[in-house]
């Protein structure tokens, strides 16, 4: 299904971003000041920035060799959450509270 480990890793990272966006949109559902579409657009911008940052980081760290999947996923998600916090001033959904 995937052409390599990196493609699988990118798919999992993207799926993690999308899952967070869905949960965050649920958390925003009761807020009538901003539309769901606006929140979705803002969260998608965060995701796109995180993907660009991830790509840049991978290029800069090529000399380190292959990064374990778990580390790559964790670092990528942490960067995404930082971008979300910077945009909103808080985390719309605390995944640890589930």
Q: How confident is the model at residue 84 (pLDDT cuts 50, 70, 90)?
A: very high
Which pTM does this prediction carry?
0.85
Predicted pLDDT at 15? 95
Show the DSSP H helices in 1-98 as ranges. Answer: 5-28, 36-60, 69-88
Cα dihedral sign for 80, 85, 87, 90?
A: positive
Tens digits of residue pLDDT in 26-82:
887 766 677 888 899 999 999 999 999 998 988 888 888 888 889 999 999 999 999
Are the beta carbons of 36 and 28 closer than 8 angstroms? yes
CA distances from 5 to 11, 46, 53 (A): 10, 24, 19
**Domain residue ranges in the chain:** 5-88
> Which run of H or of E encompasses 96?
none
């Amino acid at each position: 299904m995937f052409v390599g480990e990196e493609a699988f890793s990118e798919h999992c990272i993207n799926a993690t971003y999308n899952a967070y966006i869905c949960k965050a949109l649920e958390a925003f559902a009761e807020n009538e000041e901003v539309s769901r579409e606006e929140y979705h657009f803002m969260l998608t911008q965060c995701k796109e920035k995180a993907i660009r940052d991830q790509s840049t980081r991978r290029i800069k760290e090529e000399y380190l060799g292959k990064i374990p999947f778990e580390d790559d996923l964790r670092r990528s998600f942490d960067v995404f959450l930082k971008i979300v916090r910077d945009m909103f001033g808080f985390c719309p959904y605390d995944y640890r509270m589930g």
